[in-house]
A = this chain, B = another copy of it.
Amino acid sequence: MSIVHVTRRAHFNAAHRLHNPEQSDEWNRAVFGKCNNPNWHGHNYELEVTVSGEPSPETGYVIDLAELKTIMNRQVIDICDHANLNLDVPFMQGILPSTENFAVAIWHRLVDALPSGKLTSIRLFETPRNYVEYRGE
């Protein structure tokens, strides 16, 4: 028995703004700095999704990557690409779109769309120098 971890990387770009509506504008400017710009800013996000399990004896696959790509597109990429995370993305409504919160939200978009127990990690790169990982813990 061998547990193999399979990762697929995808790309999308989006606008967002870090702003906590329960706090004053002054607090938001002090805490979020340029990320609080009311006119938005944006990123090329890179998303890595890892699913884990035993390779099928028939196909050698933990998961068919074409199927994983379809699920990632339907659940995340098609909704977020060229969108405004604060205004356009239903699953981010009411959530402060930090990379941390966005990764957790992406996990919840994917975990039930994948076979039970398969999803083990989400890695989300906001820039080539900053990324977060969420493992459902």
A-to-B contact residues, CB < 8 Å: 2-11, 13-16, 18, 20, 23, 31-35, 37, 39-44, 50, 55, 58-62, 64-66, 81-84, 87-88, 95-101, 103-104, 127-135, 137
Is A40 touching B8 in the complex (CB atoms < 8 A)? no
Q: Count copies of this chain in the complex.
A: 6
**Given A4-B133, A37-B82, A134-B2: A100 and B42 interface contact (C-beta under 8 Å):** no
Q: How far is the CA of A35 from the CA of B64 in the complex (A)?
A: 12
**Given A58-B20, A100-B55, A101-B60: A15 and B34 interface contact (C-beta under 8 Å):** no
Is B13 touching A60 in the complex (CB atoms < 8 A)? no
Q: How far is the CA of A8 from the CA of B127 in the complex (A)?
A: 10
